[in-house]
Each structure stands twice: as structure tokens, then as C-alpha cells.
Amino acid sequence: MLSERAKRIKPSPTLSIDAKAKAMKAEGVDIVSFGVGEPDFDTPENIKEAAIKAIKEGFTKYTPVGGIDPLKDAIIEKFKKDNNLNYKREEIIVSCGAKHSLYNIAQALFNPGDEVLIPSPYWVSYPDQVMLNDAIPVFVKTYGSDSFMVRPEVVESHITKKTKALILNSPSNPTGLIYDKKTLEKIAEVVLRYGVFVISDEIYEKLTYDGLKHVSIASLDNEIKAKTIVVNGLSKSFAMTGWRIGFAAGQREIIKAMTNIQSQSTSNPTSIAQKAAIEALTGPQDFITMMLAEFDRRRRLLISELNSIPGMSCLTPTGAFYAFPNTSKLYGKSIGDRTILSSSDLSLYLLEEAKVALVHGEAFGDDDYIRLSYATSINEVKKGVDRIREAVNRLS
Ligand code: PMP
Ligand code: GLU
């Protein structure tokens, strides 16, 4: 009955684990959730007020498909200020979340059989979005010893005549690491040589630590800018996951195709959420500073605690809100008749026995790791990590 396309994909594992953890909580189980990547802060009041005002003023009808001009202008200003990138309105599209922008890019760019390079570990939706559009994900493995940055020469060795695009994600979900400018320059050189597009997912750009700053590959020069589609959104920076506002910037022709696709599928992103987005981008920005300081506290605590658990080792993430410890030394250990052989076994064991929800690394393409989102209160971080330690210590 179902299309081959539908049969090819699976539900988002991060959203599935979140649903499972929430269902257990609703049943009264005391779960600590390191599962989903969603800020635990409330959306700032000024942003909510802007949406309420929009409702009261009757701004509740269809808008232009790719977003209203004042929002596009606010996004243009953001790119100028934060990334030193200049775009025109025709080069911007607003979608129902960054995930939707990414999906529209896949629809607009990929032909059947096109190959798309995805550095692994990767964010869960990239391969499935590629496959939903009849293209082929080609994984390029990265290693903790390289801070999980893809090596330019390894990118080059994976390029064929069919390679259409490379998906970059910095700061990265799930590794929490950031690409440095030098590596980006070398990657740009490679992709330009072969005419490969870059899809640059920069949704965590505001969440960086230790004085490091995000660099957009598109900002390196005009040549790479023309080959890059930058994706960003408000979900993470302004705790607006439910509002569904994301955006993309790139060549006019690509953005026009994405807008046509949007006009035949979802129409405009929600009118009132667009008004809220203008306030988020143009209003006070102190919320981000406050949220970041809190994430930083949790990051420091979580990483040092994880590294003190025998069998786990974790690089210090410099962006986003994820810890990605290597847990492969625990594989082969047992408790009773249960043996932990993989990241799935470990996360299921921790869910059932320690009542801690987290995501198996296999979902991100690397079974040697697990992912913990520290977008949860510092007390929950403490409680959760104590439970993990106790459960891991019981393995032998
Ligand atoms: N890209 C990455 C790397 C993400 O982690 C997420 C998380 N949801 C998204 C894109 C999509 O975000 P949203 O659709 O909520 O804007
Ligand atoms: N990106 C978040 C995560 O990785 C949200 C879940 C999703 O959109 O799949 O947990």
C-alpha cells in the first residue's frame, strides 16, 4: 500500500525517545530526561506579547508564502550583524522550522540518484530527508581525535560525479563541537573545485562557550556564499521550538524553488509566529546571554561528572547543548543475564534501570557513543548523572 519512499524512512529517533520519556513521566515514573534537544526555558515574555498583540490585531490570515517582508528584513539584518553576510529579500525564505527549510532544500536541489555527503555523527533527520527525496546519503566518518570535524581531504575522496551537496552542521548536534575557520576554508576550496553545494545548518550558532564564536562558511567569500544555502531558526536561541519558525538564505533561484514548493505544500509559516519572530530578532537579546550562562554551568558539571564514570570519556563540547561521551568500553559488560553490546542496549538499560532517558549514538551514525542533552535544570543534571554512575557501576 505504502510508497517505496515512505517505506524507506523511520520516525525521528530523538522525537520518539522524547515521546517515550514524556509518556513514562505522565504515568508517574520519575524520569530524568537528557533526551530531546529542546531548551527547558520558557519563551521570553516580550516575544509572547508580540504574538498576543498580533492575534488581538487580527493578524491571523494567510501571509506571503515565504514570510512577511518585515520578518525577512529582520533576518537580513541578523545575517549582516552576526555573520557579515548580505542578502536581499528574494534570497530569504521563512519556513515552519529549520527542519522544514532543510526539507525544502532537499526537494529543490536533489534528483534521484544524487549523492549527498553527510559527516557522521550527524543529526538524525539529514539521511532520512535525503532519502525522502530519492537521493543517496553518503556518510563521511569523523573522529573524536579530530574534534569530529570532517577532514577536507576525506570530503574530497568521497566526491563523485553524482555528488550534489555537503551538509555541514556547526555547532554540531550531536557532538557539540564547532568548525574552525581554517578547516572551513579548506572545505570551501574542495567543494568549489567540484561544484558541490553546501547546506550549512547553523541553528546552534548563538550557543557557543569558552569565548569561541561561530563562523558561517558562507561568509568566507562570495564564491562559496553563492554555493551555500544557510539554514537557521529560532527554536534553540529563543526557546521557541513549538512556534515553528526557521529560515534559509541562498541563491535567488534556489529560494524561489523552495518558495514554490512551500506554496504547494504548507503555505506560509504561522502568521502570529512570524510576528513573534520579528520581536525575537529585533528586541532585547539578554535572554540568550542568561540561557547561555546557565547552559555553561550545566555543561561544566555534566562533562566532568561523565568523565569520572569508569568506562566513559567525553570531549568538552564548545557549542550547542549536548554531551556525546564515548561508551564503547562498557560494551561487553553484563548484569544478570543482560549484556550491553551497543549504544541501544546501554540507553535501554539506563532508561529501564536508572530511569534516565538519553539517545543511543547509533541514531546519529556512531554506535560507540550516547548523546545527552543538558537542556534540563542543573538539579536534574546532578540527579541524572548520579543515576547513570550507579547503574554503570553495577555492570561487570
Ligand atoms: N538542525 C539541527 C542540527 C537540529 O538539532 C534541529 C533540532 N530540532 C533542527 C535543525 C530543527 O529545528 P527546528 O525545526 O525546530 O527549527
Ligand atoms: N533537534 C532536536 C534533537 O536532536 C529536536 C528533535 C528533532 O527535531 O528531531 O533532539
Q: Please tell me if the CB atom of residue 239 comes closer than 6 angstroms to any atom of ligand 1.
A: no
**8: pLDDT strictly greater than 90:** no
What percentage of the chain reaches a pLDDT higher than 90?
95
CA distances from 388 to 34, 81, 316 (A): 11, 42, 19
Other Cβ atoms less than 10 A from the Cβ of 321: the count is: 29
Distance of alpha carbon 178 from alpha carbon 379, whole angstroms = 27
% helix, strand, coil for the chain, step of 5 = 45, 15, 40
Other Cβ atoms less than 10 A from the Cβ of 69: the count is: 13
Strands (E), 6-114: 32-33, 92-95
Cell of 390: 550507579
Q: Which of 36, 173, 237, 374 to mutate to test the pocket of ligand 2 (most atoms within 8 A of CB)?
A: 36
In sequence order, which ranges of the chain are alpha helices (DSSP H)? 4-8, 13-26, 45-56, 69-83, 98-109, 125-132, 152-158, 181-194, 222-227, 252-263, 271-282, 286-307, 343-349, 378-393
CA of 390 to the centre of ligand 1 (A): 32
Domains and CATH numbers, the chain: 4-42+287-393 (3.90.1150.10), 61-282 (3.40.640.10)
Distance of alpha carbon 386 from alpha carbon 329, whole angstroms = 19
Q: Please tell me if the CB atom of residue 241 comes closer than 6 angstroms to any atom of ligand 2.
A: no
CA distances from 334 to 325, 331, 349, 350, 351 (A): 20, 9, 11, 13, 16
CA of 226 to the centre of ligand 2 (A): 28
Distance of alpha carbon 198 from alpha carbon 188, whole angstroms = 9
CA of 396 to the centre of ligand 1 (A): 37
370-373: strand order across its sheet: 322-323, 370-373, 359-360
pLDDT value of residue 94: 98
CA of 244 to the centre of ligand 1 (A): 10
Least confident of 20-34, 48-62, 234-248: 20-34
Q: Look-up: residue for cell 542496549?
A: 345
CA distances from 83 to 45, 71, 155, 247, 352 (A): 27, 17, 24, 15, 44
Nearest atom of ligand 1 to the alpha carbon of 99: 14
85-108 pLDDT tens trace: 999 999 999 999 999 999 999 999
Q: Please tell me if the CB atom of residue 78 comes closer than 6 angstroms to any atom of ligand 1.
A: no
203-244 pLDDT tens trace: 999 999 999 999 999 999 999 999 999 999 999 999 999 999
What percentage of the chain reaches a pLDDT higher than 70?
100
pLDDT value of residue 76: 98
133-176 pLDDT tens trace: 999 999 999 999 999 999 999 999 999 999 999 999 999 999 99
Q: Look-up: residue for cell 536561541?
A: 237
Nearest atom of ligand 2 to the alpha carbon of 36: 10
**Ligand minimally distant from the alpha carbon of residue 373:** 2
pLDDT value of residue 13: 84
Q: What single-letter DSSP state applies at residue 311?
A: T
CA of 99 to the centre of ligand 1 (A): 6
Segment (H or E) for 165: strand 163-169
Nearest-CA residue for atom 8 of ligand 2: 15
CA of 277 to the centre of ligand 1 (A): 16
Q: Which of 17, 173, 235 to mutate to test the pocket of ligand 2 (most atoms within 8 A of CB)?
A: 173
Phi-psi region of 39 (alpha: psi -120 to 50; beta: other; left: phi over 0): beta
CA distances from 140 to 14, 116, 148, 394 (A): 21, 10, 11, 36
Cell of 205: 550558532
Other Cβ atoms less than 10 A from the Cβ of 15: the count is: 14
pLDDT value of residue 18: 84
Q: Cα dihedral angle (248, 157, 322, 224), rounded to 10 degrees?
A: -30
Q: How confident is the model at residue 198 (pLDDT cuts 50, 70, 90)?
A: very high
**Ligand minimally distant from the alpha carbon of residue 102:** 1
CA of 337 to the centre of ligand 2 (A): 33
pLDDT value of residue 348: 92
Segment (H or E) for 141: strand 136-141
Q: Please tell me if the CB atom of residue 316 comes closer than 6 angstroms to any atom of ligand 2.
A: no
